[in-house]
Amino acid sequence: MIALSSKSQSGFNGEIHFGGITSQVDGDNYGGFNKFGYHIGFLTSKSINTKLDWYLGLQWATKGSFKPSEPDKGIFNTYRIKLNYAQVPIGVRYFYKKINLEGGLTLGVLTSSYEEDQIGEINPTTLNYNPFELAYTLGLSYPITDKFNIGLWQSRSILPIANSLELTTFGLFGGSFNHVLYFNLNYKFLKKG
């Protein structure tokens, strides 16, 4: 943070972002964004021109999957995957009127994983998780004041987070992929010098 503050005089901006996450794991045979979590982090950005910024950040995100029981349908089994990541997002932000369009890549390091069903923890886990995740992120944000904006990001793993990846004549196949919706509140704490 000290280095970030010292560079603010050179045209760098800083912001803290936090919010909720809803996610699923594509490939675990359960559908729906039923796993709720949170994320928090900070970004530093620098203008490329009047319409375009690049950004680099550090964030913490809780992802995974959840299959709730459905007693009214006679389904009492549940299944939950909890995945915690330390992430480094890098990307660009395009200013279009009042809306900011954003896109980039995120490299994540898996810090912990946990699986449970209606009985309790599943150990060993059913999936062999990769220690790293590479994902794309697309999103938009909208300013509500000079310092605050709200945003929505959509992210999905590019490479599998678990099991193996196979190259077939029809393209890439196999593995499990994080699919995440981020709901953000962003606070700008540094301004351009």
Q: Print the SS3 string covering 38-90.
A: EEEEEEEEEEEECCEEEEEEEEEEEEEEEECCEHHHCECCCEEEEEEEEEEEE
Work out how many domains the chain is built from and give that number.
1
Section 29-52 average pLDDT: 89
CATH of the domain at 34: 2.40.160
> Cα(32)–Cα(109) distance, rounded to whole angstroms?
24
Total-model pTM: 0.84
* Domain annotation covers residue 15: no
Which carries the bigger pLDDT value, residue 162 or residue 23? Answer: 23
* Domain annotation covers residue 10: no
Encoding tokens for residue 60?
Answer: 């913490």
* Domain annotation covers residue 29: yes
pLDDT at 1 over 50: no
What is the per-residue pLDDT for 109?
A: 98
What is the per-residue pLDDT for 2?
A: 40
Amino acid letter for position 31: G
Encoding tokens for residue 91?
Answer: 């990307």
* Domain annotation covers residue 2: no
pLDDT at 126 over 90: no
- What is the domain range of residue 177? 20-190
Cα–Cα distance list, 138 to 46, 72, 96 (Å)? 19, 37, 15
* Domain annotation covers residue 7: no
* Domain annotation covers residue 170: yes
CB atoms within 10 A of CB 177: 19
* Domain annotation covers residue 156: yes
* Domain annotation covers residue 94: yes
Largest Cα separation within the chain, whole Å, is 62
